[in-house]
């Protein structure tokens, strides 16, 4: 299809689809074929304003709808999504490049968030304590104490909430946010990644089929201008962001300066420690899957591995062997084990990092640039560097691609010290057979999500997604109990009837 005929994506607000009016458009390409697939408005601030107005207008009725009624739409939505898993996965494969299995997995993970949000009647329940005041026998005067005074705290919706999401899980990450937000009685404006927004649109169209009232759920496309309009808007109460540390830092400080509550789940550099006593097959598979699954484009990708002592002797050859035979190809091809990078900029960035690793003196064991891959598309095969050190860019910076670096350590404490040098603290895992070593790791490593004998310790929706250090700005994380608290405000009542 010629670029001039690429379909222009519409916004979705007030329950309807709206053509964009924008001076800047971005063309997105299928990363496996480099064919143009969508054209997205970048600076339609009028649409952003309309979406906030729609959400603001819908808030009074929606927030006073009983929570038991609100979640009926989510139950219905879950059923509809179950019927559209394959369709949604196909869109994700087309616009993001994931393999079909990865795309289906991401839709399933999104459905997990909806199931969790269906528990809102229990999750947002308040607490009560009768007889809160000390009795008069403990007081100097009668006024100080009292009987019959009860107190309770309720959790209430906060208003219009905004979600700003990244390209790497285009359908799942929005579902970290809006199902819980609307279950708690808020209305929502989603600004999906401009790089691959088609699956978010389809998922929101399906939500409208589930009967959410007009204005409860809205979607507006755009880049920084639109984000700025949303995060500074007087009628927006909360901003949930997932993306790079650079953008997250800006959105956190700007949103807070405009009196919003803000949570920013940001970039990552994750380390895996392998002890000599680990189950070899499980460790090699776990590290490999973590580094190269989703083409390394996930915030839980283990992109540095630290074998301790003689673990290096079997781990590194095992990883190199696997890398050589790993099938890299289009996501829609059933044989593909790894798809392309999502766009040309990502492809160029990963090439730059491989060059940097070579220049800085790491040993290139497998070079993903020379892998067996389709001619067209943003493909890079699994790339493995040995003898990396913490001051190299391939270790210090987030690459967000299929590049795994090995730092050799002589003891567990040295390995943990390598992990803790990182500015990021999203996740870290260890493979071992020793409870003692696992305990030492758990109690000394600086990361908010950790795994023992698990390559990707991705929390299910009932648990918070809890990065530390530069991987997170805010205090309440997404999902779990934190998610409920983020999307509600508390109100305390003190009452006496006698
Ligand atoms: P990104 O920061 O480029 O974009 C994320 C969102 O922010 C997009 O919607 C984009 O339009 C917006 N944005 C980007 N720059 C902006 C700016 N200057 N001003 C206002 N808005 C801006 O991130 P990405 O490349 O789409 O996603 C990859 C990043 O997301 C990686 O760093 C990855 O680690 C991170 N990520 C983190 C988590 C987590 O839970 N910690 C999960 C998924 C992805």
Asked whether residue 297 is domain-assigned, the answer is: yes
Total number of domains constituting the chain: 2
The yes-or-no answer on residue 299 being catalytic is: yes
| Residues 301 and 418 occupy one common structural domain | yes
Instruction: Give yes or no: residues 227 and 372 share one domain.
Output: no
224 lines ligand 1 (CB under 6 A): yes
- Model confidence band, residue 171 (pLDDT cutoffs 50, 70, 90): very high
- Tell me phi and psi for residue 245, to 5 degrees: -65, -40
Query: Is ligand 1 within 6 A of the CB of residue 252?
Result: no
Ligand 1 nearest atom to the CA of residue 398, by list position: 32
Where does 43-197 have alpha helices with state H? 45-63, 67-83, 85-96, 100-117, 120-123, 172-183
Residue 247 lies in a domain: yes
Report yes or no on 134 lying in a domain: no
Pick from 239, 291, 248, 250: nearest CA to 266: 248
Q: How confident is the model at residue 443 (pLDDT cuts 50, 70, 90)?
A: very high
C-alpha span between 238 and 391 (Å, rounded): 37
Atom 24 of ligand 1, nearest CA residue: 166
Cα separation, 148 vs 209, in Å, equals: 49
138 confidence band (pLDDT: 50, 70, 90): low
244 and 283, same domain (yes or no): no
pLDDT in tens, 141-153: 656 566 789 999 9
CA 267 to ligand 1 centroid distance, Å: 8
Burial of 92: CB neighbours in 10 Å, binned 0-12, 13-18, 19+: buried
Q: Tell how far CA 441 is from the center of its chain.
A: 25
Helices vs. strands in the chain: H and E counts, helices first: 16, 22
Output the residue whose Cα is nearest ligand 1's atom 10. Answer: 193
63 and 198 share one domain: yes
Average pLDDT score over residue span 332-353? 98
| Domain match, 305 and 368 both | yes
Q: How far is the CA of 131 from the centre of ligand 1 (A)?
A: 49
Determine if ligand 1 sits within 6 Å of the CB of residue 105.
Answer: no
The pair of structure tokens assigned to 119 is 């528990």
Pairing of strands 217-219, 236-242: unpaired
Provide the residue range defining the domain that includes 184.
3-123+156-266+471-490
What's phi and psi for 477, nearest 5 deg? -80, 175
Q: What is the rounded radius of gyration, in angstroms, for the C-alpha atoms of the chain?
A: 24
Average of per-residue pLDDT across 92-98: 98
Whether residue 144 is contained in a domain is answered as: no
- Interior angle at CA 461, CA 458 and CA 466, nearest 5: 55
Q: Is the CB of 167 under 6 A from ligand 1?
A: yes
Give me 488's structure tokens.
Answer: 């509600």
> What average pLDDT score do residues 79-92 get?
98
Q: What is the mean pLDDT of residues 414-420?
A: 98
Residue 130 counted as domain residue: no
In terms of residues, how long is the chain?
A: 498
pLDDT reported for residue 1: 67
Which CATH number goes with the domain that contains 417?
Answer: 3.40.309.10
User: In this model, does residue 415 exceed pLDDT 60?
Assistant: yes
Question: Which tokens hold the place of 113?
Answer: 């968030």
Same domain, residue pair 300 and 381: yes
229-262 burial code (b ≥16 CB/10 A, e <16): bbbebeebbbbbbbbbbebbebbbebbeeeebbb
243 CB near ligand 1 (under 6 Å)? yes
Ranges 58-72, 137-151, 224-238: which has the least confidence: 137-151
Same domain, 366 and 348: yes
Same domain? 232 vs 285: no
Query: Best of 102, 163, 244 to mutate for ligand 1, by most ligand atoms within 8 A of CB?
Result: 244
CATH, residue 104: 3.40.605.10
Q: What is the model's pTM? A: 0.97
Counting residues of the chain whose pLDDT is more than 70, the rounded percentage is 97
Is 183 in the same domain as 315?
Answer: no
In ligand 1, the atom with minimum distance to the C-alpha of 243 is: 30
d(CA 322, CA 341): 20
Binding site membership of 268 for ligand 1 (Cβ less than 6 Å): yes
Give the chain's mean pLDDT.
Answer: 96
**Is the domain of 277 the same as that of 251?**
no
CA distance 372 to 129: 66
Residue 47 has pLDDT above 80, yes or no: yes
Task: Give the whole-angstrom CA distance, residue 196 versus residue 30.
Answer: 9
Residue 140's pLDDT band, with cuts at 50, 70 and 90, is: low
Confidence of residue 134 (pLDDT cuts 50, 70, 90): confident
Classify residue 385: in a domain, yes or no.
yes
Q: Whose CA is nearest to atom 23 of ligand 1?
A: 243
Residues 18-40 pLDDT 10s: 999 988 999 999 999 999 999 99
CA 342 to centroid of ligand 1, rounded, Å: 13
Residue 495 lies in a domain: no
| Claim to verify: residue 198 and residue 239 sit in the same structural domain | yes
In a domain, residue 50? The reply is yes
Query: Band of the pLDDT at 3, cuts 50, 70, 90?
Result: confident
| pLDDT tens per residue across span 301-331 | 999 999 999 999 999 999 999 999 999 999 9
Rounded to whole angstroms, the Cα distance separating 150 from 66 reads: 25
Q: One of 113, 161, 264, 299 is an active-site residue; which one?
A: 299
41 plus 101 within the same structural domain: yes
């Amino acid at each position: 299809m010629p670029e001039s005929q690429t379909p222009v994506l519409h916004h979705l607000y007030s329950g309807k689809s709206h053509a964009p009016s924008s001076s800047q458009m971005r063309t997105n390409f299928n990363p496996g074929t480099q064919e143009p697939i969508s054209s997205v408005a970048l600076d339609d601030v009028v649409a952003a304003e309309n979406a906030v107005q729609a959400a603001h207008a819908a808030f009074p009725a929606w927030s006073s709808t009983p929570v038991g009624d609100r979640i009926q739409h989510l139950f219905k939505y879950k059923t509809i999504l179950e019927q559209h898993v394959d369709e949604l996965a196909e869109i994700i494969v087309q616009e993001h490049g994931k393999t079909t299995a990865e795309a289906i997995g991401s839709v399933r993970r999104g459905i997990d968030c909806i199931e969790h949000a269906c528990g809102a009647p229990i999750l947002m329940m308040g607490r009560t304590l009768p007889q809160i005041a000390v009795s008069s026998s403990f007081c100097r005067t009668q006024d100080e104490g009292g009987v019959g005074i009860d107190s309770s705290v309720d959790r209430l919706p906060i208003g219009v909430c905004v979600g700003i999401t990244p390209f790497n899980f285009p359908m799942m990450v929005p579902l970290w946010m809006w199902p819980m937000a609307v279950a708690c009685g808020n209305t929502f404006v989603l600004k999906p990644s401009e790089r691959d927004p088609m699956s978010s649109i389809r998922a929101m169209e399906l939500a409208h089929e589930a009967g959410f009232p007009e204005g409860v759920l809205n979607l507006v496309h755009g880049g920084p201008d639109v984000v700025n309009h949303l995060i500074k808007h007087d009628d927006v109460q909360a901003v949930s962001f997932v993306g790079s540390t650079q953008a997250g830092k800006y959105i956190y400080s700007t949103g807070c300066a405009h009196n919003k509550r803000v949570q920013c789940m940001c970039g990552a550099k994750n380390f895996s420690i392998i002890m000599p006593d680990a189950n070899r097959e499980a460790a090699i598979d776990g590290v490999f899957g973590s580094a190269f699954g989703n083409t390394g484009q996930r915030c839980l990708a283990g992109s540095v591995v630290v074998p301790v002592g003689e673990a290096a002797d079997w781990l590194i050859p095992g990883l190199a062997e696997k890398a050589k035979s790993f099938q890299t190809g289009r996501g829609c091809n059933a044989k593909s084990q790894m798809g392309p990078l999502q766009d040309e900029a990502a492809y160029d960035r990963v090439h730059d990092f491989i060059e940097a690793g070579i220049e800085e003196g790491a040993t290139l064991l497998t070079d993903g640039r020379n892998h067996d891959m389709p001619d067209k598309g943003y493909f890079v095969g699994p790339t493995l560097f040995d003898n990396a050190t913490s001051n190299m860019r391939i270790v210090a910076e987030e690459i967000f691609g299929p590049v795994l670096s090995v730092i050799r350590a002589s003891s567990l404490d040295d390995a943990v010290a390598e992990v803790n040098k990182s500015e990021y603290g999203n996740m870290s895992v260890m493979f071992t057979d020793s409870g003692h070593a696992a305990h030492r790791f758990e109690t000394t490593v600086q990361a908010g999500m950790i795994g023992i004998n698990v390559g990707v310790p991705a929390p299910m929706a009932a648990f918070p997604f809890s990065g530390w250090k530069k991987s997170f700005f805010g205090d309440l994380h997404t999902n779990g109990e934190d998610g409920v608290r983020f999307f509600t405000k508390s109100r305390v009542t003190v009452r006496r009837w006698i």
